[in-house]
């Protein structure tokens, strides 16, 4: 047993032990300090403690001072820095100024002109309101105020020295200048945690950049060590979107404007507007995500999750979207008094904000970029749209309506009366070959397709029509045919002087294009549609059975046919499910229910969200006060880990709206179905099928990316082609 004399003497050395403190056993821990009386802290120490929350680095001071300048109605703000803001931070504005008698109160704790009662605190309209920023900064640095009120009878400004409290006249126009020198001089230990001057300068610039994006009507200039670092002039555009676009181009660069879309979504009591980046412009880091609530830059999990959810099926991997979103909401429905730095907020109805942000971004991303050319050049030729019969609805058996109909994108149909240029020759091509739309017949033999066509009362293609059929289109795939006879396979090399079966003319490239686009038999005099209005152009070839090459007004278009068709099928399946929102995923009961230990939070979620779990194909019931029983899982995921799936779904249901979780689960399953149902690589398509695919891409939402976020098409302009061959040089 260890003797008391052998114990380390460091336990109670130099400590006046009280009778209530007992010596600790040999645990290696120091003895507890004696009890100290409760005292009221001095004001200076209180301010220094508050400064630890408000002032993390020079950029924190810049943010607070610029907030005050904006609240004062400034139209021009100038920031001057020395040593990254450690030696000097000077913020000058041309706002309303501070009256002489109010200058000493500006440096006192909890002194502000922004609020005066609880009602104003619950409906804050200003950037600042706590009244402790200047006092906190004053407690750890040397602060001086120079201000002149607008309309003041004094012929000069007034200077307040923070250390001495002396008030003296000085020269200045109307406005206020706040100088902060020797930051953290009163707390030298805090200076050790600062980075290099370049790093601190970068943080200060980021703080000003966030304010500049929210206020295009205010000019900003940043000087460092006497040199102009950044300057953003006032945007004089009358339209808010135009002013924002100009400021975004100045601050983030013109590339952000070129790779982003404008959005403006109005809901009941909430508006979301701004710009959101294209999926192709996604970045590895989330350094271009700017969210503002009533003009205040915030970092909010609800907003960031809503934005990420809107991009979930158009982003590849873990790429991060870029956006500048401005949310306008009643100030009484948002609490900004959550964090000392006011960078976090709490919404009264977070689900409403989540849905608003998600819908705003989804609506902006839904329109395919290929349709932009159609809007600029006017509506596409109706006959051209009528030619795009591929990828519509599934082929229907039985008699057809007496009045032929022209199929447009997304299954929308119009009678010929709605199309003044409708030509019967282009309304229904001969049913030769299998269309990409007929997923169930995609890999069937030619005999099966002939049977399907016969059931519809339509003539099927025969071998007498030759490999290209009566209109130059490929017939159905038949494994019994030789490679030279199979449609969609590369034709054997032919003499250029050989004649085509239908025209007897040499098989030149123009003749081949005319043959592939020729109308059905009996309509040889019909004019082909005008392809100039097709944004993705006219298909001209297929490369290695993977890519489609098309020609449009800008140059060459390259399309990944599997990725494009995958998106089209995916959007179709989503529409079918949205038509019956109450329908759930197919469930498979377990022969032996699986039990697992659950937390009280998981048990409460399982009981409250039983209907939503059933829509997801899950059946979870209470087995004991601390155990849940999994009795059914989605049929498509029956081979997976059911318990892990149940836990993840319960966690997501507890944090987000149930309908959002159900929708995401459905979309993941539909995306898998679409991937397996889309046309595969190495599948040879006819020109008719290629053009049908292109037309459907132009009419399908989010067709610029596949379900996994990969791009579906790329544009190669004529100027880029000319540069490859040094044309014009």
pLDDT reported for residue 452: 42
Please tell me the total count of domains within the chain. 3
pLDDT reported for residue 656: 66
Bigger pLDDT: 280 vs 221: 221
Distance CA 225, CA 241 (A): 35
pLDDT reported for residue 651: 82
Domain-embedded: residue 36:
no
One domain for residues 85 and 224: yes
Q: What would the mean pLDDT of 519-540 be, rounded to a whole number?
A: 62
Bigger pLDDT: 395 vs 719: 719
Q: Is the pLDDT of residue 524 over 70?
A: no
Distance CA 704, CA 536 (A): 11
Find the helix or strand (DSSP H, E) in which 671 lies. helix 658-677
Q: Is the pLDDT of residue 491 over 70?
A: no
Cβ contacts of 270 within 8 Å, gap of 6 or more: 327, 328, 329, 352, 353, 356
Q: Which segment of 62-66, 94-98, 431-435 scores lowest on mean pLDDT? A: 431-435
Domain-embedded: residue 522:
no
Q: What would the mean pLDDT of 553-559 be, rounded to a whole number?
A: 90
Q: Edge to edge, what strands does the sheet with 227-232 contain?
A: 167-170, 157-161, 142-148, 175-181, 88-93, 76-82, 219-224, 227-232
Based on C-alpha coordinates, what's the Rg of the chain? 35
Last residue of a domain, one of 348, 366, 384: 366
- CATH classification of the domain holding 48: 3.30.565.10
One domain for residues 623 and 585: yes
Q: What would the mean pLDDT of 5-30 be, rounded to a whole number?
A: 50
Alpha helices by DSSP H, 319-366? 350-366
Domain-embedded: residue 247:
yes
One domain for residues 243 and 223: no
Distance CA 565, CA 678 (A): 6
Q: Is the pLDDT of residue 89 over 90?
A: yes
> Do the Cβ atoms of 550 and 556 come closer than 8 Å?
yes
Percent of the chain with pLDDT over 90: 23
pLDDT reported for residue 431: 35
Find the helix or strand (DSSP H, E) in which 54 lies. helix 43-54
Q: What would the mean pLDDT of 479-488 be, rounded to a whole number?
A: 38
Classify strands 88-93 and 142-148 as parallel, antiparallel or unpaired: unpaired
Q: Which segment of 17-26, 448-457, 562-571, 697-706 scores lowest on mean pLDDT? A: 448-457
Give one DSSP letter per residue of 99-161, joined into a string: -GGGHHHHTSTT--SS--SHHHHTT--SS--SS-HHHHHHHHSEEEEEEE-TT-SSSSEEEEE
One domain for residues 135 and 217: yes
Q: What would the mean pLDDT of 183-189 be, rounded to a whole number?
A: 80
- CATH classification of the domain holding 307: 3.30.230.10
Last residue of a domain, one of 231, 265, 297: 231
Domain-embedded: residue 385:
no
Q: Is the pLDDT of residue 271 over 90?
A: yes
Domain-embedded: residue 690:
yes
Q: What would the mean pLDDT of 119-140 be, rounded to a whole number?
A: 80
Query: CA nearest 46: which of 114, 162, 140, 129?
Result: 140
Cβ contacts of 18 within 8 Å, gap of 6 or more: 34, 35
pLDDT reported for residue 178: 94
Q: What would the mean pLDDT of 642-665 be, rounded to a whole number?
A: 74
148-167 pLDDT, tens per residue?
998 887 788 999 998 888 88
> What separation in angstroms does the CA of 727 have from each of 547, 719, 720, 724?
26, 9, 10, 8
96-112 pLDDT, tens per residue?
899 888 888 888 877 88
Bigger pLDDT: 86 vs 666: 86
One domain for residues 207 and 279: no
pLDDT reported for residue 420: 45
One domain for residues 207 and 63: yes
Bigger pLDDT: 106 vs 583: 106
Domain-embedded: residue 30:
no
One domain for residues 574 and 697: yes
Q: Is the pLDDT of residue 344 over 90?
A: no
Give 119's pLDDT tier (boundaries 50, 70, 90). confident
One domain for residues 155 and 216: yes
Distance CA 294, CA 328 (A): 5
Q: Is the pLDDT of residue 4 over 50?
A: no
Cβ contacts of 7 within 8 Å, gap of 6 or more: 26
Find the helix or strand (DSSP H, E) in which 221 lies. strand 219-224
Distance CA 261, CA 275 (A): 5
| Cβ count near 646 (within 10 Å) | 24
Q: What would the mean pLDDT of 301-310 be, rounded to a whole number?
A: 90
pLDDT reported for residue 188: 78
Q: Edge to edge, what strands does the sheet with 587-597 contain?
A: 587-597, 627-634, 619-624
Domain-embedded: residue 409:
no
pLDDT reported for residue 530: 58
pLDDT reported for residue 75: 93
Q: Is the pLDDT of residue 711 over 60?
A: yes
C-alpha angle 81/82/83, rounded to 5°?
Answer: 125
One domain for residues 270 and 192: no
Q: Is the pLDDT of residue 595 over 90?
A: yes
Percent of the chain with pLDDT over 70: 69
pLDDT reported for residue 112: 81
pLDDT reported for residue 521: 38
One domain for residues 183 and 328: no
Q: Which of 24-28, 349-353, 406-410, 584-588 has the highest mean pLDDT?
A: 349-353
Domain-embedded: residue 208:
yes
Residue 345 is part of which domain span?
237-366
Q: Is the pLDDT of residue 91 over 80?
A: yes
| Cβ count near 227 (within 10 Å) | 7
Strand partners, 413: 407
HSE, side-chain direction, 13 A CA sphere, residue 96: 8
Q: Is the pLDDT of residue 380 over 90?
A: no
Last residue of a domain, one of 183, 201, 231: 231
Q: Is 229 helix (H, G, I), strand (E, B) or coil?
A: strand
Q: Which of 364-373, 389-398, 623-632, 656-665 has the highest mean pLDDT?
A: 623-632
pLDDT reported for residue 210: 93
- CATH classification of the domain holding 640: 3.30.1370.100
One domain for residues 619 and 646: yes
CA 468, 499, 687, 407 torsion: positive or negative? negative
Give one DSSP letter per residue of 236-295, joined into a string: --SSHHHHHHHHHHHHH-HHHHHTEEEEEEEETTEEEEEEEE-GGG-BSSS-SEEEEETT
What is the end-to-end Cα distance of the chain in Å, rounded?
A: 96
Distance CA 697, CA 689 (A): 12
Q: Is the pLDDT of residue 78 over 90?
A: yes
What is residue 580's DSSP assignment? S
Backbone dihedral region for residue 545 (phi beyond 0: left; psi -120 to 50: alpha; all else: beta): left
One domain for residues 568 and 648: yes
Mean pLDDT of the chain: 74
């Amino acid at each position: 047993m260890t003797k008391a004399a052998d114990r380390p003497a460091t336990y109670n050395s130099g400590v006046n032990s009280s009778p209530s403190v007992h010596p600790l056993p040999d645990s290696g821990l120091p003895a507890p300090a004696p009890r100290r009386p409760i005292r009221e802290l001095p004001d200076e120490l209180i301010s220094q403690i508050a400064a630890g929350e408000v002032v993390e680095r020079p950029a924190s001071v810049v943010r607070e001072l610029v907030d005050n300048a904006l609240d004062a109605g400034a139209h021009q703000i100038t920031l001057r820095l020395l040593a990254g803001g450690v030696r000097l931070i000077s913020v000058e504005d041309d706002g309303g100024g501070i009256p002489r008698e109010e200058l000493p109160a500006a440096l006192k704790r909890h002194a502000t002109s922004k609020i005066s009662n609880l009602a104003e605190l619950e409906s804050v309209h200003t950037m600042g309101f706590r009244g402790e920023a200047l006092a906190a900064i004053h407690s750890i640095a040397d602060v001086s105020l120079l201000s002149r009120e607008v309309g003041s009878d004094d012929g000069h400004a007034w200077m307040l020295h923070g250390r001495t409290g002396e008030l003296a006249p000085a020269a200045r126009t109307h406005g206020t200048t706040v100088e902060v020198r020797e930051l953290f001089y009163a707390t030298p230990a805090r200076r050790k945690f600062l980075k290099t001057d370049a790093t601190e300068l970068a943080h200060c610039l980021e703080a000003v950049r966030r304010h500049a994006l929210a206020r295009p009507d205010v000019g900003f200039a940043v000087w460092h060590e006497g040199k102009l670092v950044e300057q953003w002039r006032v945007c004089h555009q009358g339209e808010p979107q135009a002013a924002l676009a100009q400021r975004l181009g100045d601050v983030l660069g013109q590339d952000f404007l070129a790779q982003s879309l404008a959005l403006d979504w109005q809901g009941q009591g909430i508006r979301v507007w701004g710009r959101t980046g294209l999926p192709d412009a996604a970045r590895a880091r989330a350094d271009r995500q700017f969210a503002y609530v009533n003009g205040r830059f915030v970092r909010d999990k609800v907003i960031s999750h809503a934005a990420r959810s809107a991009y979930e099926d158009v982003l590849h991997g873990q790429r991060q979207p870029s956006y500048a979103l401005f949310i306008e909401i009643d100030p009484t429905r948002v609490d900004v008094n959550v964090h000392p730095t006011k960078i976090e907020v709490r919404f009264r109805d977070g689900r409403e904000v989540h849905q608003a942000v998600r819908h705003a971004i989804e609506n902006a991303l839904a329109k395919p970029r290929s349709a932009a050319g159609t809007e600029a050049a006017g509506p596409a030729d109706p006959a051209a749209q009528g030619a795009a019969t591929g990828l519509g609805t599934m082929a229907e058996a039985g008699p057809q309506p007496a009045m032929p109909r022209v199929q447009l994108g997304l299954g929308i149909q119009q009678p010929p009366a709605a199309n003044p240029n409708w030509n019967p020759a282009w309304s229904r091509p001969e049913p030769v070959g299998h269309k990409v739309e007929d997923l169930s017949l995609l890999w069937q033999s030619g005999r099966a397709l002939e049977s399907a066509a016969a059931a519809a009362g339509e003539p099927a293609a025969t071998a007498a029509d030759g490999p290209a059929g009566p209109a130059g289109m490929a017939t159905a795939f038949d494994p019994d045919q030789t490679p030279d006879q199979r449609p969609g396979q590369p034709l054997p090399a032919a003499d250029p002087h050989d004649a085509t079966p239908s025209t007897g003319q040499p098989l030149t490239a123009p003749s081949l294009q005319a043959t592939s686009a020729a109308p059905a038999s009996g309509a040889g005099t019909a004019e082909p549609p005008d392809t100039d209005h097709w944004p993705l152009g006219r298909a001209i070839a297929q490369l290695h059975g993977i890519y489609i090459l098309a020609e449009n007004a800008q140059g060459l278009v390259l399309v990944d046919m599997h990725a494009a068709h995958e998106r089209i099928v995916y959007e179709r399946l989503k529409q079918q499910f949205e038509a019956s929102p109450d329908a759930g995923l197919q469930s498979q009961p377990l022969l032996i229910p699986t039990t697992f230990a659950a937390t009280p939070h998981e048990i409460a979620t399982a009981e409250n969200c039983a209907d939503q779990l059933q829509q997801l194909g899950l059946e979870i019931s209470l087995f004991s006060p601390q155990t849940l029983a999994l009795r059914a899982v989605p049929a498509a995921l029956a081979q997976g880990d059911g318990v892990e799936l149940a836990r993840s779904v319960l966690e997501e249901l507890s944090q987000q709206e149930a309908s959002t979780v159900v929708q995401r689960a459905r979309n993941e399953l539909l995306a898998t179905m679409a991937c397996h149902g889309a046309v595969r690589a190495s599948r040879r398509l006819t020109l008719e099928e290629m053009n049908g695919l292109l037309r459907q891409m132009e009419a399908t939402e989010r067709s610029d990316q596949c379900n996994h976020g990969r791009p579906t098409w790329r544009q190669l302009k004529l100027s880029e082609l000319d540069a490859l061959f040094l044309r014009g040089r």
